[in-house]
Amino acid sequence: MKKLSNKTIIKRIKDGKRCCPVCGSYRYSSTGNMVEYPERWEEQRCVNCGQLVCISDNSPYIHICEDILDTFKHLSYSKIQNWIRTDPYFWGRK
């Protein structure tokens, strides 16, 4: 899948759809639970670009689009990409 336009990705995020903020894809791969039973640690990454899009660490799932909507008042693609790059330990790419 080729990358969608920046305008389309921003529209998807504003509409509350859970997509990858880098390429716009809806397809994810999940690690499954990476710790033993009572604990939970799971990550979901975009199949196309490898961006971390969803995480759960003994808490409800947190999706990157929800975090973006909480962080930014006015969405712009360049702001989102800079935000992802400056936080390599949480939402950063591999």
Q: Give the number of domains in the chain.
A: 1
pLDDT tens per residue, range 15-67: 999 999 999 999 999 988 888 888 888 899 999 988 999 998 888 889 999 98
pLDDT of residue 88: 61
Q: What number is the average pLDDT over the span 1-17?
A: 89
pLDDT of residue 45: 93
Q: Confidence class of residue 6 from pLDDT cuts 50, 70 and 90?
A: very high
- Asked if residue 91 belongs to a domain, the reply is no
- Asked if residue 93 belongs to a domain, the reply is no
Bridge partners of 13? none
CB atoms within 10 A of CB 82: 11
- Asked if residue 69 belongs to a domain, the reply is yes
d(CA 3, CA 37): 37
